Copies of this chain bind each other. A is one copy, B any other.
């Protein structure tokens, strides 16, 4: 009675890996790269976890592994999505409830208790967050210009990123201004 992995639902990272495998077979190493280039800004697991997840998927029949010998490169294992894997991904997308958002936001916690600290330093943290958002924005705008990427679902995620970045930037600018005023008085 080795029933177990059967209906056990996926972790988010497992789902992310299945999702990436749905775009084609990849090794753990490839997956790590693929994460950085696509879902990285809203889902970025450590590489050790990718390697931990893969055998679990194989065990559950959601992916298959094939050892590929290479010369002048270390051997690698290439993983491929199975039909069961695709079905599991579909179920995860459709049925697993996504936790409500906004979730945990440590920066906001700093702001909320900001009167305990120096307004200048706090403004510095906010400024850094704004710079990050500005970088994200230009990265996403570059992607947007690329005509190879006009898939609806990619566009939707990208536009969330842009919407989010715009919100951060607008908020941060105002907050920086007001904290600067507070510093003076």
Contact = CB atoms under 8 A, between A and B. Distances in A.
Contacts of A19: 109, 112-113, 116
A43 B104 contact: yes
**Band of interface residues on A:** 35 or more
A76 interface: no
When all copies of this chain in the complex are counted, the total is 2
A89 B156 CA distance: 39
Contact of A100 (B100, B112, B132, B157): B132
Contacts of A108: 39, 42-43, 157, 160
A22 B99 CA distance: 29
Closest 5 CB pairs of A and B: A19-B113, A42-B105, A93-B117, A167-B167, A114-B153
Interface of A: 12, 15-16, 19, 22, 38-39, 41-43, 86, 89-90, 92-94, 96, 98-118, 121-122, 125, 129, 132, 136, 151-154, 156-157, 159-161, 163-164, 166-168, 170-171, 174-175, 178-179, 182
